[in-house]
A and B are shown apart, each in its own frame.
Chain A
Amino acid sequence: MTRRVVRILSFAVVLFGALTSMVSTANPLALRRSVFRIETISQDLNFVNPWRLQAPNMSSGTGFYIGQGRILTNAHVVANASSITVRRDGDAGQMIAYVQYIGHDVDLAILGVEDPSYLKGVEALVLGSVPRLRSPVTTVGYPMGGDQVSMTDGVVNRISYQTYVHTEVDDHLLVQVDSAINPGNSGGPVFQGRNVVGVAFQALTRAQNAGFIIPVPVVQRFLTDCSDGKYDGVPDWGVETQATVLNNAASALFYQVPKNDHRGVLISRVQEWSPAKGIVQRGDVLMAISGKSIGVDGKVDFEGERVNFEALYDLRLIGDRVRFEVLRDGAIRELTVIAGVGKAHQYSGLIYPKRPRFTVFGGIVFTALTRSVMELWGDSWEKRAPLLMRYLLSNPFDFELTGQRDQIEELVIISDILVNTNNSFLEISSPVVDKINGEKVTSVKMLHDALHSLKEETLRLDFLFSQEPWLLNAKDLRAADEENNRRYGVSQQFWLEPYSIDGAITREVKR
């Protein structure tokens, strides 16, 4: 899947359920005891002073029982949670819950409960299939406005491939419905008859009754991925394509597309890290994936609808062999790509680690450039944040312009200066650290190690696209740390754990 930064600004992350007295084809009311209200106390991360957390925040969402002691909900319902409780409709008490698996890229999580007997006798809901256009659905959940379960009816309007706003960069299959999806519905089941056909998860804020649900194939893929005890994430293939080119008859001739073959998109870029590198190449025409023809618009037939062909790649597991049909030099070639984990995701999308990676040295706070950091500039950061940071986030592998190298694990920025006599004169002309004492900075950890193994008296930091290096006395800076930490309440000097797609070191409550 192409992980180019896509933001749908008019979306708000919301989930809810809705209520209605009318039920579509069967009566989900009977299944309401399998639908849980989830209450969460969470603390968002502080990306400027990463040793701190934001103030605790209470929120609620919905989840539903899928058997084997597991409750399915959205990742954003339990992200950064310090405490999770679940309660069934009609129950007086609550049960403490914990995160078993979480997939931020698909906005799904599996919860367990502290006392498994709490779930005894609860009917496991059954996953159905992708609903047909205009078919009726019922959304069930605990939207704001009351404590009881709520249901709303609607119909399926669209099946498409769009951005999941939880990370703001992951595109997957989704289904648009016109039943009300409001805050609190998130994570709730959407029924067709007795079967669950999706998980409510986001809505358009500027449109009435434009809700989105995660369809069963994405849910099923998540559950399968977790079945070996570890969530590996959705594969990313790092290949960009150009659709509609072959609508041009002369261009089709140039790329040697056989007459009357109205298929194919042009491969315009293959990232260095791509698992397809060396297999497909720029200029190839991608004709089919997994045996399904790709139209000149880049879409394939899927459950009776036309969706972006990358949706099919998304549904594969890491390590799967994915077959492609490629036209090169006038000949069709059958190629196989081993689905792999994407590289761009971890800092181009919003992240949910236990802590941002950071290190503090002499009052200078270094952290990784992530989309989460950018939100310091507010919702309109895409206009207000420094251009260099915006550009690097959007084009993390644009080595030609930025002079970066593929071995860079992450870009390191200065998020704050805790002012003391040894650094009060510093001014940030460019926030992105390029080199330390002449050596390319490749990650926060590399910088941290370099800072703490400095033999030289002078610390020199060079910044990307700046001719104003900092030359500082390393000994003075080091000596100031203790006093600085006391004065500014720096409770932790560094955090260097790697980020992980499966949330294995995320902060959500885990058993």
Chain B
Amino acid sequence: MKPDKLYGMLVRFKILALLTVLTVELPAIGSTDNKDSSRYESSVLHLTVTRAAPDPESPWALQNTDISGNAGVVISENRVLTQASLVSRAVYIQAQRVDDVEKIPMEIVFADYEANLAILAPVKGHRLGNVKIMNIGQDVPLGADVFLIAIENERQLQRISLRTLEIGLRESSIGGISLPIYNLGGQVRSTCKSDPIVRNGLLVGLCVGVLESQPQVIAASVIKHFLGDNLTPALYRGFPSMGVSFVPVRSPWHRKLLGIAEGKGALRVSRIFDTSPFADCMKDDDVLTAFDSVAIDHRGFYRHPMWGPVPMRHYIAEKYSGSPLTIHFKRNHIAKECKRNLIRFSGQDSLVPGATNEGGVPHVIFGGLVFRELSVDYLMVFGRDWRQASPQDLLFFYTYLNLPSLKRERKLVMSNVLGDEFNAGYQKLSNLVLSSVNGLPVTSIEGLKTQLNLPGILRAGVEYAQFDFLDGTQIVLPYKGTSDAHKRIGSTYAVTNTSSFFSRL
């Protein structure tokens, strides 16, 4: 896997408030052995994943395929658990025991890219033979010794001793789900590739990355939550969200105004998304005091039976979408409560959607002008430091205006111009945010196509498409001649997929 791609997968999540840092001594640096690791050879499989992702710079084309190796854990008969981001956009997957030469073709049964977990199964007509199921254990306390099982050179398992140091939460890009993730102490290679974490022979986590030298591990409770769901797209409930942003209140005077008694915990509601199930009963400046009957401390934490104080979001993540939640809150010093069923948000609900893992990149080419939806996929074109290096207009939408919407409205960007005599005069333009087409706003690529199918602007007997951009730039091109231009452009720039070009219905 290309480093940029891996980075992209990791940055979809930001690590929130790492907390409860115990003063735990590191284990005698990651002692490694091969002897005991052999017992896992029938449970930890080597996956060879061939992926072909769309080229973010040329959305009509695929990038060169890349082949990566990572781990998968046999968790039931003919079912293998792995990290979703490592199998996204896979065109071919094979599984094999490290001590065997036989490779079994696999396919994705179900993946939750927000939770970063996927289930694989052998392709029809194949079976996983000579494997042993690894059962799922419980979450482990902080300071506990665990082992990471790594695959070395595709041929050998290695057992590395580590210790759970702290528990944090990672949050999807939209204030949606917040899942617990361990930081482990010890020494591992520079990255994890879905390496299982085991304790007493049980799977207690999946290592999905390394941050500042610390392995990042999805907790067993998250895996159990995932596996306990109905793993079919229509019935999967997934990890829920409230659709409410809240912040601790630090100012003593503000606490007094809100009626928060000294020493009492509370969170101030800072924003309720339109899509929230609580939007009809709560509003900004309400003060949350408890979820169900679980009280909040002054930081917005609750006491987890194993991990101690943990941010309240984790309490939500333990539930399923559709589960009821009662929020106790105060408004104007008066106690109130609101009970609603939780819903599932997706990174794709936001104005600037997160990295996509399936399907192509929505785009359309009109006379050489390449239009696409503003997305994290596109921003990542600007390199590893895209959060600094991307054009300011685009970053502004991502950073400040990136609210969720069930309408899934998008901002469209004209990323570049494929130069041709047809678009002479406009060829240096790039990365412009589209405001309107023929005077009307558009909020998706499909909407753009629809708009372009309507009558354009007539001037001197010629019908034009007029594109207006946020910075004032205007492009006008005639409809007549686009067909010939598209042929030339397709040939010159190897745009082989004719559906990339706009053609009038």
When C-beta atoms are compared, the residue in chain A nearest to B285 turns out to be A469
> Does the CB pair A468–B270 fall under 8 Å?
yes
B-facing residues in A422-472 (Cβ within 8 Å): 425-427, 458, 465, 467-468, 470-472
When C-beta atoms are compared, the residue in chain A nearest to B466 turns out to be A254
Give the residues in chain A near B395, CB-CB below 8 Å: 387, 391
> Does the CB pair A248–B396 fall under 8 Å?
no
Contact pick for B250, options A251, A256, A384, A425, CB 8 Å? A425
Give the residues in chain B near A472, CB-CB below 8 Å: 251, 253-254
In the bound assembly, the distance between CA atoms of A246 and B476 in angstroms comes to 11
> Does the CB pair B400–A248 fall under 8 Å?
no
> Does the CB pair B472–A470 fall under 8 Å?
no
Given contacts A390-B392, A467-B271, A253 and B253 within 8 Å (CB-CB): no
The secondary-structure label for the interface of chain A is mixed
Please tell me if B284 contacts chain A, counting CB pairs below 8 Å.
yes
When C-beta atoms are compared, the residue in chain B nearest to A471 turns out to be B254
When C-beta atoms are compared, the residue in chain A nearest to B457 turns out to be A254
Of A63-71, A202-210, A237-245, A336-344, the stretch lying at the interface with chain B is A237-245
User: B303 CB to closest chain A CB, in angstroms?
Assistant: 23
Given contacts A245-B425, A254-B459, A256-B460, A394 and B392 within 8 Å (CB-CB): yes
The 0/1 profile, CB within 8 Å of A marked 1, for residues 448-479 of chain B is 00000000000110101000001111111110
Give the residues in chain B near A245, CB-CB below 8 Å: 425-426, 474
> Does the CB pair B425–A425 fall under 8 Å?
no
Please tell me if B503 contacts chain A, counting CB pairs below 8 Å.
no
Give the residues in chain B near A30, CB-CB below 8 Å: none
Please tell me if A266 contacts chain B, counting CB pairs below 8 Å.
yes
> Does the CB pair B388–A473 fall under 8 Å?
no
Given contacts A254-B462, A283-B474, A391-B392, A465 and B400 within 8 Å (CB-CB): yes
Given contacts A246-B425, A247-B425, A251-B476, A256 and B253 within 8 Å (CB-CB): no
User: B293 CB to closest chain A CB, in angstroms?
Assistant: 27
The secondary-structure label for the interface of chain B is mixed
When C-beta atoms are compared, the residue in chain A nearest to B459 turns out to be A254
Please tell me if B252 contacts chain A, counting CB pairs below 8 Å.
yes
Most chain A Cβ neighbours within 10 Å, of B251, B252, B475 = B251
> Does the CB pair A467–B388 fall under 8 Å?
no
Given contacts A387-B392, A387-B399, A471 and B253 within 8 Å (CB-CB): yes
Give the residues in chain B near A391, CB-CB below 8 Å: 392, 395-396
Please tell me if B172 contacts chain A, counting CB pairs below 8 Å.
no
Contact pick for A266, options B252, B253, B459, B474, CB 8 Å? B474
Give the residues in chain B near A401, CB-CB below 8 Å: 396, 400-401, 470
Most chain B Cβ neighbours within 10 Å, of A266, A282, A425 = A425
Q: What is the total number of residues of chain B having a CB less than 8 Å from a CB of chain A?
A: 40
In the bound assembly, the distance between CA atoms of A193 and B464 in angstroms comes to 57
Give the residues in chain B near A269, CB-CB below 8 Å: 471-472
B-facing residues in A267-305 (Cβ within 8 Å): 268-269, 282-283, 296
Please tell me if B423 contacts chain A, counting CB pairs below 8 Å.
yes
Give the residues in chain A near B472, CB-CB below 8 Å: 240, 242, 268-269, 282
In the bound assembly, the distance between CA atoms of A403 and B333 in angstroms comes to 32
User: A219 CB to closest chain B CB, in angstroms?
Assistant: 33
Counting contact residues on chain A (CB < 8 A from B), the size range is: 35 or more
Please tell me if A9 contacts chain B, counting CB pairs below 8 Å.
no
Give the residues in chain A near B481, CB-CB below 8 Å: 250
When C-beta atoms are compared, the residue in chain A nearest to B428 turns out to be A244
Please tell me if A26 contacts chain B, counting CB pairs below 8 Å.
no
The 0/1 profile, CB within 8 Å of B marked 1, for residues 368-398 of chain A is 0000000000000001100110110011000
A-facing residues in B15-44 (Cβ within 8 Å): none
> Does the CB pair B478–A250 fall under 8 Å?
yes
Please tell me if A400 contacts chain B, counting CB pairs below 8 Å.
yes
User: A303 CB to closest chain B CB, in angstroms?
Assistant: 27
Please tell me if B389 contacts chain A, counting CB pairs below 8 Å.
yes
When C-beta atoms are compared, the residue in chain A nearest to B246 turns out to be A467
Please tell me if B6 contacts chain A, counting CB pairs below 8 Å.
no
> Does the CB pair A425–B251 fall under 8 Å?
yes
> Does the CB pair B424–A248 fall under 8 Å?
yes
> Does the CB pair A383–B388 fall under 8 Å?
yes
User: A241 CB to closest chain B CB, in angstroms?
Assistant: 9
Contact pick for A248, options B389, B401, B423, CB 8 Å? B423
In the bound assembly, the distance between CA atoms of A256 and B257 in angstroms comes to 64
Please tell me if A320 contacts chain B, counting CB pairs below 8 Å.
no
Please tell me if A497 contacts chain B, counting CB pairs below 8 Å.
no
> Does the CB pair A471–B251 fall under 8 Å?
yes
> Does the CB pair A253–B396 fall under 8 Å?
no
Please tell me if A476 contacts chain B, counting CB pairs below 8 Å.
yes
The 0/1 profile, CB within 8 Å of A marked 1, for residues 483-494 of chain B is 000000000000
The 0/1 profile, CB within 8 Å of A marked 1, for residues 306-321 of chain B is 0000000000000000
Please tell me if B247 contacts chain A, counting CB pairs below 8 Å.
yes
Q: 13 A-B Cβ contacts within 8 A?
A: A240-B472, A242-B474, A244-B428, A248-B477, A250-B422, A254-B462, A266-B474, A282-B472, A282-B474, A296-B425, A401-B396, A401-B470, A470-B254
Which are the 6 A-B pairs with shortest beta-carbon distances? A269-B472, A467-B270, A248-B425, A268-B472, A247-B425, A471-B254
